[in-house]
Amino acid sequence: MVSRRPLTTVALAALPLAFIGLFFVWPVASILVRGLAPGGALDLSVPLQVLTRPETLEVAWFTFWQAVVSTLLTLALGLPGAYVLARFDFPGRRLLNAVALVPFVLPTVVVGAAFLALIGPKGALGVRLDHTIWAILAAHVFYNCAVVLRLVGGVWAQLDPRTEEAARVLGASRWRAFREVTWPLLRPAVLSAASIVFLFTFTSFGVILILGGYGYSTIELAVYRAAAVLLDLPAAATLALLQLAFLAVLLVVYARLQGNAAVGQRLTAARVTARRPRSRQEWTFVGATIALLALVLGLPLAALVERALAGANGYGLDNFSALFGESARGALFVPPIDAIRNSLAFAAAATAICLPLGLLAAAVIAYHRGRLATGFDALLMLPLGTSAVIVGFGFLVSLGQLPIDLRTSPLLIPIAHALVALPFVIRATVPLLRSIDHRLREAAAVLGASPARTWRMVDLPMVGRALLVGGSFAFAVSLGEFGATLFIVRPDAPTMPIAIYRLLSQPGALAFGQAMAMATVLMAVTAIAALAFDRLRTTSVGST
């Protein structure tokens, strides 16, 4: 039997480990040591006091259960949407797939304003739901639905539909064919998407602050209050450790479930699996799913565009014109076009960092089983669950000790973005790497191919589309990243989310309109980028 391990673990893991160690473990450890051992000696009295407070237990419980409910609701909406986008071809399919990614990159301050326009004191829907758990859950589904659509839909589009059709010919019902044939093949991708949605909702900050208030505090919000408001670094470090410990346990459990769910399968090209609906029942299902997605994702986006077009003299392009005038330049310190250019450059750099690192890390996780691979997987996911406050402070404290001071370098922003985006590339790639039929590798080895050539000729072409899915997420995450960027961005090099935040900080209706106009530009840039990645994915060479 030929080994399924085409490359050694050490060779594959070296670069991802070096990256995560230098730019995540060291900065976070530095700030935690400063908080828990300010005099050089560990003082456990403050952590014990913080952990035994009743409010800490309440915050931890709320953080957990709202993340569970948010994840389940996102899956309930996203899985039917992923099926429709993967299996059916209909007018506007690519546009819907691209627009669904837009909410994922919008800064929380913008989404909060959009939801308040719908369900706030003067909301368009006439229902007051702000400062309730329902607003929080709705915003979480709005944000994270794209994760399920992209990660699950990307795999679903490559599953050969003839396998399920063969089960139907043999007498299986539609539900039984899905449960016994498709679901085992799809389950690793669903677990990947669910883990990312859970991490984002578990560490939710902006949505909770704007739509829930301090009455609905998560651990992330408690860390922010302790560090940035109360200036209590020991308490902030304790809460950050609690969050990391909780997530580490969950990620280890996830990694084991993911390993047990892996199933070998034959993949096919994404462009040949989608077909037009054939019956009235299929058209009804497709139409209802699209209508639900359009309702959940479209209403807040429509409210955002409406605010961008609403000016002092009625609807028009005044806010967009003012965005490139002297008033906006004064608030941003640079011409607004520079913020757009900076975001695109940083996103391209972050994606270029993520793709090779993500592919190497995914190969380690997919090919090598055991505790080391499980721990490696959990370590790479931790940046998603770590407070942006702690990471930002850690950068400022630790990176000045390097031979090259990266704190003033423009490279620091794409590096910070890559930390958050890397798990998306990994989660998009691991299920496909694990699903490749090992007999293809054995055939290549029998024909004399070396392990490296086998990996390059067999595995890499098959996971190319998964890398494009992960790349689209990395690009989008970088475009919309706000928390860490706020701590490390230079005043003369703002990104679009930073520009939106600065404009919203200015008094007056004009600045607010300019912020909404910039948010609309961010939406358009994200949709165009998603369409470009989707075209590359669907026209890539399929596997045989």
Tokens, residue 400:
């000045």
> Do 447 and 499 form a contact (C-beta atoms < 8 A)?
no
Residuewise pLDDT in 10s, the chain (544 residues) = 344 444 466 667 888 899 998 888 888 888 788 777 766 666 677 778 878 888 888 888 999 999 999 999 999 999 998 888 888 888 878 788 777 878 877 777 677 777 877 887 666 777 778 788 888 999 999 988 988 988 888 778 777 677 766 777 777 777 777 777 777 778 888 888 888 889 888 888 778 877 876 678 888 888 878 877 777 778 888 888 888 888 778 777 776 666 555 555 555 555 556 677 878 888 898 889 989 988 888 888 888 888 888 877 778 888 888 777 666 666 667 777 888 889 999 999 999 999 999 888 888 887 776 677 777 877 888 887 777 777 877 887 787 776 677 777 788 899 989 998 898 888 888 877 777 767 777 777 777 777 777 777 777 777 777 788 788 878 888 888 877 787 788 877 888 888 888 887 777 777 778 888 888 888 888 778 777 776 666 555 444 3
In 22-173, which residue ranges form alpha helices assigned H by DSSP?
26-36, 45-51, 54-87, 93-99, 102-105, 108-119, 133-156, 161-169
Instruction: Report the alpha-carbon distance of residue 177 to residue 270 in Å, rounded.
Output: 21
Instruction: Report the alpha-carbon distance of residue 234 to residue 56 in Å, rounded.
Output: 14
Return the amino acid letter for 114. Answer: A
Instruction: Report the alpha-carbon distance of residue 261 to residue 241 in Å, rounded.
Output: 30
Instruction: Report the alpha-carbon distance of residue 293 to residue 92 in Å, rounded.
Output: 13
Instruction: Report the alpha-carbon distance of residue 33 to residue 172 in Å, rounded.
Output: 59
Q: Among residues 188, 100, 103, which one has the least CA distance to residue 149?
A: 100
Residue bearing tokens 């329902």: 134
H or E segment to which residue 26 belongs: helix 26-36
CA dihedral (499, 502, 507, 512) positive or negative: positive
With helix as H, strand as E and coil as C, how does 419-433 read?
HHHHHHHHHHHHHHH
Instruction: Report the alpha-carbon distance of residue 523 to residue 105 in Å, rounded.
Output: 8
Alpha carbon of 118 to those of 114, 128, 132, 241, 426: distances in Å? 7, 9, 14, 37, 36
Q: What is the pTM of this model?
A: 0.73
In 37-53, which residue ranges form alpha helices assigned H by DSSP?
45-51
Domains within the chain, CATH numbers bracketed: 10-307+318-538 (1.10.3720.10)
> Do 125 and 119 form a contact (C-beta atoms < 8 A)?
yes
> Do 379 and 20 form a contact (C-beta atoms < 8 A)?
yes
* Burial (0-12, 13-18, 19+ Cβ within 10 Å), 522: buried
Q: Among residues 493, 451, 461, 434, which one has the least CA distance to residue 192?
A: 434
Tokens, residue 257:
């479930």
Beta bridge partners of 310: 315
